[in-house]
Amino acid sequence: MMPKATRRKWVISLLPLLAAAIFMQTRIDPLVPQFHSGENPNAVFNLSAEFILGPLLGLRQAVAGLLWVRADEFFDNGDYDAILPIIRMVTWLDPHNVDVYITGAWHMSYNFTDTQELSDRRYIPASQRLLEEGVENNPNIYDIKFELGWENYDKIKNYKIAEHWFQRAWESQDLNDADKKPPQYVLHMLAHAQEHEAKITDCIATWRHALARSLVLCKQKPKDFSRTNMRDTEIHNLRLTLERRFSRYSHMVNFKVDKWATKSVNPVTGAPIPDFAYINPKTGKPNPPAITPPWNCGFDAHLAFPEPKVMQVSGFFNVGDGARVDVLLCDDNFTLPKLKHFSFNINYRQTIMMDSIAVIHEQFDGRIDMSKDPKMYSFSRSHYIVRLTFNPRRTFPYLQDRFGWSGEGMADKRYLYVNPYQPHKPVRMLEKVFYISRAQVMGLQPITNANVLPNDSPLVKKVNTLWTPY
């Protein structure tokens, strides 16, 4: 055993070496503060004992990796609740692990579901805030911005915010290579988001930009299949967008004729060349725009709760097969929280459900069972809003061919609602809103016409302000 005096000498002699190592490290790696931006210096105190030693030794990223491996085990076992604290801890320890932000946000947006696989929308604000935190800690990385765009595009249906994030993703610059751009599909999603906003001029400009870049890339590697396939996709989508705009707002195109008769499309107007596809064979004159004859929808919807917390939605809708009627049920005072900091503390007393029902042969009928998931549907309020809508910007192109991107050709005597949430191009929607009690949700009282709110009522305006972009 080493004598006490000798041990003291060794310790004293090592102290200058430790100080020198610390001094030299700060000189060797001046980028350390930048690399560790966003890290929580107190994160170590939130770890269990077996993980404390690593951070104290400067192995924060190693511990974060071990934690994420543990989270993967929970994923495999379907133990989703256990993953959230790990996500928080890993992003504290290693705020530059891009995959954790993306996977964690996807987990909150898509994995928490009821027995009918409907997502728990209460986690959406937390998911968005986690991704925003990821952008703040990794401002030059396109991936997280793209994920924010995708979640708003696919899950939330807020195309305005989706466009914002796709645009920011495309503008991201690689710190190691200023000339390196994000993948071409980022531009594609930007164009799709702009189309869903009915910003067709911008959409066409984005497709042109994408195609111009692909032509350069294909010239560099003409035998690269992925590049030539990308180019051909962009040519196809640009042509379709031009032709659809022409058909809907200038002269209606007969797309069956267009398939075999059209040799090209006017790159400015979108008119098929030659003009067989939009000339009326009987009159010899161009057809009027597709949206000219009003499309009378005859929309109506009925609501019932045949069993406690089991909602039956049915109705009539004069539209082609495949259209979907969106269904929203929420507390009458429901609000979307604005999170300044990421938190997965969810208000479980809130109730919100979103689904959609397909139209087949002008009828729609759907049964939504919320009785088996009390944690997700607490029904703790005394009154609720049920909102049934059809938004033409979210439907299929073959249906939009009848009434335009923003429903310009739609008509309905009772439930037509013009929503100006995008001032550049207000969207004409169909909407029927019910104000019901908890007793009606429990099937104790019938739902009648007295529960239908007029579209100009203050409560409907409040709901539309909150939910129309979604």
- Tens of pLDDT, residue by residue over 402-424, are 999 999 999 999 999 988 765 56
Least confident of 52-66, 346-360, 365-379, 426-440: 52-66
Residue 347 is assigned to a structural domain of this protein: yes
DSSP conformational letter for 415: T
Distance, CA of 107 to CA of 127 (rounded, Å): 8
Name the token pair of 109: 């947006």
What global pTM score does this model have?
Answer: 0.84
- Give yes or no for a contact between 346 and 123, defined as CB atoms under 8 angstroms apart: yes
State the average pLDDT for the chain.
85
Q: What is the pLDDT of residue 338?
A: 83
* Residue labelled with tokens 């009648």: 448
Cis peptide, bond prior to residue 286, ω within 30 of zero = no
User: What pLDDT score does 54 carry?
Assistant: 43
Residue 328 maps to a domain: yes
pLDDT(18) > 90: no
Range of the domain at 328: 295-467
- 365 sits in which H/E element: strand 363-369
Give the pLDDT confidence score for residue 45 in this predicted structure: 39
Domain for residue 109, yes or no? no
Q: Does residue 47 form part of some domain?
A: no
Query: Which amino acid does the sequence have at 243?
Result: E
Identify the residue with better confidence: 27 or 171.
Answer: 171
Averaged pLDDT for residues 291-297: 93
Sheet containing 310-316: which strands, arranged edge to edge? Answer: 300-307, 310-316, 363-369
pLDDT tens digits along 21-57: 565 555 544 444 444 444 444 444 344 444 444 444 4
Lowest mean pLDDT among 4-18, 303-317, 337-351: 4-18
Count Cβ atoms within 10 A of the Cβ of residue 286 and give its class: 0-12 exposed, 13-18 middle, 19 or more buried: middle
What is the arithmetic mean of pLDDT over 84-94? 81
Q: Is residue 216 part of a domain?
A: no
| pLDDT value of residue 179 | 62
Kindly tell me if the per-residue pLDDT of 282 is higher than 70.
Answer: yes
Region 354-379 average pLDDT: 96
- pLDDT given at position 20: 62
Does 212 reside within a domain?
no
* Angle of CA points 459, 359, 419, to nearest 5°: 30
User: Strand 295-296 and strand 300-307: pairing?
Assistant: unpaired
- What does the pLDDT read at residue 122? 93
Give every CB contact of residue 464 below 8 A, 6+ residues apart in sequence.
Answer: 417, 419, 421, 431
Model pLDDT for residues 302-338, shown as the tens digit of each residue: 999 999 999 999 999 999 899 999 999 999 999 888 8
Section 260-274 average pLDDT: 87
pLDDT reading at 470 higher than 60: no
Higher pLDDT, 41 or 61: 61
More confident residue, 96 or 29: 96
What pLDDT was estimated at residue 10? 62
Which pLDDT score, from 0 to 100, does residue 71 have? 64
Residue 106 lies inside a defined structural domain of this protein: no
Confidence at residue 342, expressed as pLDDT on a 0 to 100 scale: 85
- Count of domains for the chain: 1
Predicted local distance difference test score (pLDDT) of residue 53: 43
Pairing of strands 410-411, 383-390: unpaired
Burial level of 283, CB count in 10 A (0-12/13-18/19+)?
exposed
Query: What percentage of the chain exceeds 90 in pLDDT?
Result: 61
Q: Where are the alpha helices (DSSP H) in 197-224?
A: 200-220
357 pLDDT band, cuts 50/70/90, is very high
Q: Is residue 360 part of a domain?
A: yes
Q: What is the pLDDT of residue 93?
A: 82
The better pLDDT of the pair 269, 257 is held by 269
CA distance to 257, 263, 264, 309, per residue, from 273 (Å): 12, 6, 5, 57
Q: How far is CA 246 from CA 221, 255, 270, in A?
A: 34, 12, 5
Cβ atoms 151, 109 nearer than 8 A: yes
Going by DSSP bridges, is the β-strand pair 410-411/295-296 parallel, antiparallel, or unpaired? parallel
Q: Region 48-71: what's the mean pLDDT? A: 53
Return the minimum-mean-pLDDT range out of 157-161, 189-193, 297-301, 440-444: 157-161
Q: Report which of residues 436 and 458 the model is more confident about.
A: 436
